[in-house]
Amino acid sequence: MGEASREIMRQARRQVPEWSTVKVHESLAHQHEAGPEHQDIVLVDVREKHEWNEGYIPGALHVPRGYLELQIEEAVPDKTKTVVLYCAGGIRSLMAGTTLQQMGYKEVISMAGGFGAWKGKGLPFVQPRTLSEAQAKRYSRHLLVPEVGEEGQLKLLDAHVLLIGAGGLGSPAGYYLAAAGVGTIGIIDADVVDESNLQRQILHNTKRIGQYKAESARETIEALNPDVKVITHIERLDETNVARIIADYDVIVDGTDNFPTRYLLNDAALMANKPVVHGSVFRFEGQLTVFKPYEGPCYRCLYPEPPPIALAPSCAEAGVLGVLPGIIGLLQATETVKLVLGIGDPLVGRLMTYDALAGEFNELRLFRDPKCPATNICRCLRYTRLINAEMRGATCATYATSATNATCSAS
Ligand SMILES: [Zn+2]
């Protein structure tokens, strides 16, 4: 420090009273006990953002010294309050103190020793949640979108999304959700990778033929994004495990290939109040919708009864254009991100259909069926058991109704 700097410091010390960290702590504790009527002390942190991100004193306002003159009157409009300033070591807060005095603040205090001394005394501090430097880079294109931003990205990182199946729909959906930074992705799938899956199931590859799909999916996702925790459930969804498995997730992406599982999932999701992003594909056609419990119709409102097994050819027989599940799976991923962020209009009560040959999207309005069997959940669960018994052995089934040309999902 040069002589001029020392002189400025001496001047600031004469002008701005200092409190020890202990005195600041005690004063804030008294104020806390006194209740909201007696908030006479305002604590202001004048450090830079990267310092604040390392931790700050609970209740402090953050006004970096570089912005002090511009922002302090908005942060502390009442100039009769006691403003306690702190920085890292107690020097910048002294300087900031003289500025506030010039601006007309009556009681300005600088905390001696700054945040360093506070931490050194073992006094409490909080660490704000922010993205790491690596995350800020990885998700920089999200951060530029005001509807996502850092807050939205943290929501995505906190989100738990369950993929029912790591097949045709689950692959593109899971891959992009992982890239987007959905922090926890659960995958339930008991199948192994087959050569005939690779025409569309992009989470898997030739080397993984014979490996469990859930494990193969985990490897691919972990290689893409280390922020994502993948939880594998190598089992089939049935009435004994469905409630336990879906309990930990916020959104369910349905890529199932059979009717019993869809009804089972529908009823369990209604009971647990979890939104299901439903998608299905068949040859050149796909469709999707969002079943949001009690806000829109459910799967049973759409299809009250499963088709007779005899009328439901399997998808393995019917076939599917390999790129089609990519489109529908990505639309499911998009709806999932919207639900997590709470932005836009989710496809609740709307069935979107896509005809690849015509190159056309269409939309059908869906309504809650007042006679929907799922209206009465208890009755519904018995119904599910009944259906499971009826449908056992049925795999990927197609059920065309005149209204919607409903299709199965190829997994
Ligand atoms: Zn319903």
Q: Tell me, in angstroms, the distance from the centre of ligand 1 to residue 166's CA.
A: 26
Q: Which two tokens stand for residue 241?
A: 């495990």
Q: Tell me, in angstroms, the distance from the centre of ligand 1 to residue 186's CA.
A: 25
Q: Tell me, in angstroms, the distance from the centre of ligand 1 to residue 290's CA.
A: 12
Q: Tell me, in angstroms, the distance from the centre of ligand 1 to residue 375's CA.
A: 6
Q: Which residues partner with 279 through β-bridges?
A: 288
Beta strands in 68-130 (DSSP E): 82-86, 107-111
Helix (H, G, I), strand (E, B) or coil at 111: strand
Q: How far is residue 306's CA from residue 312's CA, in Å, rounded to a whole number?
A: 9
| Neighbouring residues of the ion ligand 1, judged by CB less than 5 Å | 298, 300-301, 372, 374
Q: Which residues partner with 287 through β-bridges?
A: 280, 353
Q: Tell me, in angstroms, the distance from the centre of ligand 1 to residue 329's CA.
A: 23
Burial of 376 (0-12, 13-18, 19+ CB in 10 A): exposed
pLDDT value at position 308? 67
Helix (H, G, I), strand (E, B) or coil at 162: strand
Q: How open is the CA angle 359-306-315, to the nearest 5 degrees?
A: 50
Q: Tell me, in angstroms, the distance from the centre of ligand 1 to residue 328's CA.
A: 23
Q: Tell me, in angstroms, the distance from the centre of ligand 1 to residue 377's CA.
A: 10
DSSP code for 228:
P
Q: Which fold has domain 3-120?
A: Oxidized Rhodanese; domain 1 (3.40.250)
Q: Tell me, in angstroms, the distance from the centre of ligand 1 to residue 302's CA.
A: 7
Q: How far is residue 238's CA from residue 263's CA, in Å, rounded to a whole number?
A: 10
Give the pairing of strands 184-188 and 82-86.
unpaired
Residue spans of the chain under pLDDT 70: 308-317, 373-411
pTM: 0.69
Q: Tell me, in angstroms, the distance from the centre of ligand 1 to residue 250's CA.
A: 20
pLDDT value at position 379? 39
Helices and strands, number each (H, E), in the chain: 17, 13
pLDDT value at position 401? 29
Residue span(s) of the chain under CATH 3.40.50.720 come to 159-392
Query: What are the CA-CA distances from residue 108 to residues 20, 40, 116, 118, 212 (Å)?
Result: 14, 12, 20, 19, 65
Q: Tell me, in angstroms, the distance from the centre of ligand 1 to residue 312's CA.
A: 22
Q: Tell me, in angstroms, the distance from the centre of ligand 1 to residue 294's CA.
A: 9
Report whether 85 contacts 108 (CB < 8 A).
yes
* Tens digit of each residue's pLDDT (9 = 90 or more) over 234-261: 999 999 999 999 999 999 999 998 888 9
Q: How far is residue 101's CA from residue 48's CA, in Å, rounded to a whole number?
A: 21
Handedness of CA 272, 347, 169, 147 (dihedral sign): negative
Q: Tell me, in angstroms, the distance from the centre of ligand 1 to residue 139's CA.
A: 38
Residue span(s) of the chain under CATH 3.40.250.10 come to 3-120
Q: How far is residue 310's CA from residue 307's CA, in Å, rounded to a whole number?
A: 8
Q: Tell me, in angstroms, the distance from the centre of ligand 1 to residue 266's CA.
A: 9
Q: How far is residue 284's CA from residue 354's CA, in Å, rounded to a whole number?
A: 8
Residue with tokens 């729909």: 169
Q: Tell me, in angstroms, the distance from the centre of ligand 1 to residue 293's CA.
A: 9
Q: Which fold has domain 159-392?
A: Rossmann fold (3.40.50)
pLDDT value at position 294? 83
